[in-house]
Structure 1
C-alpha cells in the first residue's frame, strides 16, 4: 500500500498517542501504527506522592498521581523513562470531550462497573480527528525523542498530563487510556481521597464543600465542578452524575449521542410544570429575573459549554436563590429546592430556554412510590430486563445507534495499515453519527445502592449480556472485577450507613 503523506504547516494542541511516525523527504510524514499501544508504550514511573495540576491562573484544579517525566531540553519533546524497546511515536489532534462530573459523599458505589465501562472506551478517538491529522495540511510536527530515545515526530500539546500510560496491568491508569471523557469528582471535604488502586485516584477537585439535600449547597457543588471542567477547553458537554448512578448504554453511544445533541439536557421551557408556588416576589431582579422565568428541572443535567459558563459565573440570580429558595418547616412552610430550579431558571432568564431540550432526562429515576426521594433498587431486581425498561421508549432502535456510534470512532491500537488508498479523498471515509434517539431517552439511571454493586456489575459488565453496554473484546478478567466489587462494597456500605442515602 502506498504510504500516506502528511504536510507540515501550522501547529495545534494535541493528545500524544504512541505509535509510528517517520519523516519522508522533508515534506510529509507517513503514519504507520504498526504496534498496539500496549506494546508501543513503556511504563511511566509512579512516584509515591501526588502532583498538583494548576489552571492558567495558577489555581489548583486536580490532585494527580505524580509521574516521572523528563524533557529533551533541545527539542522540547516529553520523554518517559522506560525500558521498552518501542521506537515509534504518533499523534492525534485535539477533539471534543464529555466531562463526567460525579457528586458524591466519598467512594463511588459502582466503581467496578464504571471500570468495565471506561475500558470499553479504551484507545478510542473520533475517526474524524484521525482523518484531519492524516489528510489536512494544517497540522505541523516537532522533532523529539520517543520513550527509547529514538528520534521521532510529535504534535505540540498543552500539558504533559496528556502523556498516556498504557500498562494495562494498572487499573488506576485506566482513565488515562481513554480519551473521550474527562472525570471530575466532588466529595465531602473530609473524604481522604480514593486509594491509589482506584481508577478515580486523584480525580477529586480541590475546592469542595459540605453539600446537603434540599439546600443551595448542591448548587454550590455543581458550580465548583463546572468551574473545574471548564478549565479544559476540550470539554464541550458537562454531565452531572450521582454516586449511585450507572450507565444505561455503551460509552461509544453516550459520547456520540450527547455531542450530537445541539442543546443542553435541561427543561428551561416550562412545558412540564414549574412548581410555581415555590416562587416568591423577593426573588425578582428588575431587568434580569421575573416570575415568568421560574423553571423546574432535574438536578442531574447535561450542559453545553456556553451554558456551563453561564452557571459557573452567575452572581445575581444565584444570590437570590441563596437568600430565598430553601427548605424550612420550623417556623413556616418553605419548600423551594435550588437544585431543581436554579439552573433551569437562570437559562430561561437569559433568554436561552430554546437552547435546551425541554425535558432534562439525562438520568432515569422512578417516582411511583411518591415522597421527596425516588425509589432505590434492591439487589434481586437487577436484571437485563430492568435496564431495558429504564431505557425510555424514546431511545428508539438504540442497537442501530450503537453500531453507527462505533463506526465513527477509531481504536488507535488497531494500527492504520489496513486503510485504503482513498482514505483522504473518499466522501464515505468518515461516517457521521445521526441518531434516532430522542432527548427523552435517559442515558444513565439511579438509585442503585451499595448492596447492588455486584448484581449491577454482573448485568451491565457481563460478557454474555445482550444489553450491548460492553463488548466481548473488552470483557477480560470478569472474576477479578467481581472480587473487587465484593471487597469494595463493604467500604461503600460503611459510608452509606454513616451518611445515609437521601440526595444521591
Structure 2
C-alpha cells in the first residue's frame, strides 16, 4: 500500500512544481517587454522634445524679440508729443519729468517751434469760437492746454481746437498758492512737448488782439519773456513782504506783477523746477499777500532779471477800481473800443520803442462773443 501513496504524492508534486517554474518566467518576460517598450517611448519622447519641441518654440521666441529690432527709430518717442494729455503722474513726478533740458542746443531733427496757449479756467470757454477762428489754418504751430476744475467735464466738439485738451487738474483758489500750482502744472504739461517754445497763460475771458502770424512773429523775435515785475513801495507791494522769507527773498527783491505771462522755454523750465523759493512763498505769502501777484515776478527778478521784459502783453482795465479789472460785455464791443486798446501805446520791444505793446486783452464776458466775431475780420485781422 505504501507504493500507491508514494505515487500519489509524486503525482501531486509533478503537477504543482512545473506550474511554479512557468508562471514566474512568463511574468519576467512580460515585465522585460514592458520595460523595453517604456524605454523606447522615453527615448522617442526625449527626441521629440529636444528637436521637434525646440523647433516649435523657436519661432515664438524669435518673434518676441522682433520689436526690439524694429524700434531702430526709437528716438521718435522722445520728440513725439503725448498722444493723450491725461496721465496719472503726481505733480512731483510731472515737474521732475518736465524739467529735463537737453544740453546740446542743436536739435537732431527738424523742429517746428510752437506756441502753447494755456487756459486757466474754472470750466467752460465761452469765447472758444473766437479762438477757433484765430487759430484756423495754423495747425502745427500751436498747442492747447486747459486747466479747469476737476469736476468739470468739457463738451467741446471734435472740430474744435479745444477738443480733449484738458490736463489733470486740481482745485485752485485766487490769491493762494494753489493758483500758482495750476500755472506750474500747465507749464509742465506743455513742456512735455519738445516743440513748444513759447508759453502763453490766458483765461476764459481773454482774446487775441492780432492775427496769429503777427503774434507768432512778435513772440519768436523777442529776446525777453514777458513777465510783469515792478517794485511797489506801497502797502500793496512791499507792504505784503514777510521778513521770514530771508535769506532766499529780501525786501529789495520783492516784486509785483500781473498774473498773466508769456514766457519762453528757458523761463518755463525755471518756473517748473523751482524748489528754492516755492516753500517761502507757500509758508509766508498768505492773504493779504496774494502769491500769484508776487511769486513768479520776485523769483525771476532774482534768478533771471536779464531774461524778462518786466511787462506783460495782456491788456486789462483797472480804471474802474477794485480788486479785479473791468469786464466788458456785448454793449462795450465796438470797433472804436478795440482801437482804443490798440492805439496810443508806447513800450520797449527788444530795447527799442514800439507801439505794439499788447497782444491779448481781458476781461470779456460771454455776451461779447457775437460782436467780437463780427468785428474780428476787420479790426483784429482774423476770422
- State TM-score, norm by structure 2: 0.68
Q: Residues 145-184 of structure 1: CA distance to partner in whole angstroms, max 9, x if unpaired?
A: xxxxxxxxxxxxxxxxxxxxxxxxxxxxxxxxx1211111
Matched residues in 2 for 1:295 and 1:235: separation?
Answer: 28
Matched residues in 2 for 1:297 and 1:440: separation?
Answer: 20
**Deviation, structure 1 residue 100:** 0.7
| Residue number among 353, 356, 365 corresponding to 1:449 in the alignment | 365
| Residue number among 345, 364, 378 corresponding to 2:298 in the alignment | 345
Q: Residues 105-130 of structure 1: CA distance to partner in whole angstroms, max 9, x if unpaired?
A: 111120111111111xx1x5xxxxxx
Unaligned runs of 5+ residues in structure 1 are 1-10, 17-50, 62-91, 125-177, 328-334, 397-433, 476-504
| Residue number among 39, 52, 57 corresponding to 2:84 in the alignment | 52
| Residue number among 185, 188, 191 corresponding to 2:146 in the alignment | 185
Q: Who is 2:344 aligned against?
A: 393
Unaligned runs of 5+ residues in structure 2 are 1-73, 95-108
SS at match of 1:112: helix
Matched residues in 2 for 1:281 and 1:468: separation?
Answer: 46
- Contact kept, 8 Å, 2:172 with 2:178, in 1: the verdict is yes
**Deviation, structure 1 residue 186:** 0.5
Matched residues in 1 for 2:309 and 2:230: separation?
Answer: 8
- Contact kept, 8 Å, 1:395 with 1:436, in 2: the verdict is no
SS at match of 1:267: coil
Matched residues in 2 for 1:248 and 1:213: separation?
Answer: 25
- State the 4+ residue runs in structure 1 displaced beyond 6 angstroms: 11-16, 57-61, 271-274, 434-437
1:349-428 residue pairs with structure 2 within 5 A?
349-350=302-303, 352-360=304-312, 362-394=313-345
**Deviation, structure 1 residue 191:** 0.8
Matched residues in 2 for 1:440 and 1:345: separation?
Answer: 26
1:14-413 residue pairs with structure 2 within 5 A?
52=84, 93-119=110-136, 122=137, 124=138, 178-197=139-158, 198-206=160-168, 208-268=169-229, 270=231, 275-284=237-246, 286=247, 288-327=248-287, 335-350=288-303, 352-360=304-312, 362-394=313-345
- Contact kept, 8 Å, 1:269 with 1:353, in 2: the verdict is no
Q: Relative to 1, partners in 2 of residues 1:58 and 1:224: Cα closer, same or farther, differing over 3 Å?
A: closer
Which structure would you say has the larger Rg?
A: 2
- Contact kept, 8 Å, 1:185 with 1:204, in 2: the verdict is yes
Q: Residues 284-340 of structure 1: CA distance to partner in whole angstroms, max 9, x if unpaired?
A: 2x2x3222211111100011211111111112211111111121xxxxxxx111111
How many residues are treated as equivalent by the alignment?
289
Matched residues in 1 for 2:190 and 2:85: separation?
Answer: 13
**Deviation, structure 1 residue 199:** 2.8
- Contact kept, 8 Å, 2:245 with 2:281, in 1: the verdict is yes
Matched residues in 2 for 1:199 and 1:181: separation?
Answer: 10
Q: Relative to 1, partners in 2 of residues 1:241 and 1:53: Cα closer, same or farther, differing over 3 Å?
A: closer
Which is strand-richer, 1 or 2?
1
- State TM-score, norm by structure 1: 0.52
Matched residues in 2 for 1:355 and 1:262: separation?
Answer: 7
Which is helix-richer, 1 or 2?
2
Q: Relative to 1, partners in 2 of residues 1:468 and 1:369: Cα closer, same or farther, differing over 3 Å?
A: closer
- Contact kept, 8 Å, 2:208 with 2:361, in 1: the verdict is yes
Q: Who is 2:15 aligned against?
A: none
SS at match of 1:261: coil
Larger RCO of the pair (alpha carbons < 8 Å, separation 6+): 1
Q: Who is 1:150 aligned against?
A: none
Matched residues in 2 for 1:53 and 1:111: separation?
Answer: 19
Q: Relative to 1, partners in 2 of residues 1:443 and 1:293: Cα closer, same or farther, differing over 3 Å?
A: same
Q: Relative to 1, partners in 2 of residues 1:310 and 1:219: Cα closer, same or farther, differing over 3 Å?
A: same
Matched residues in 1 for 2:175 and 2:351: separation?
Answer: 36
Matched residues in 1 for 2:266 and 2:329: separation?
Answer: 39
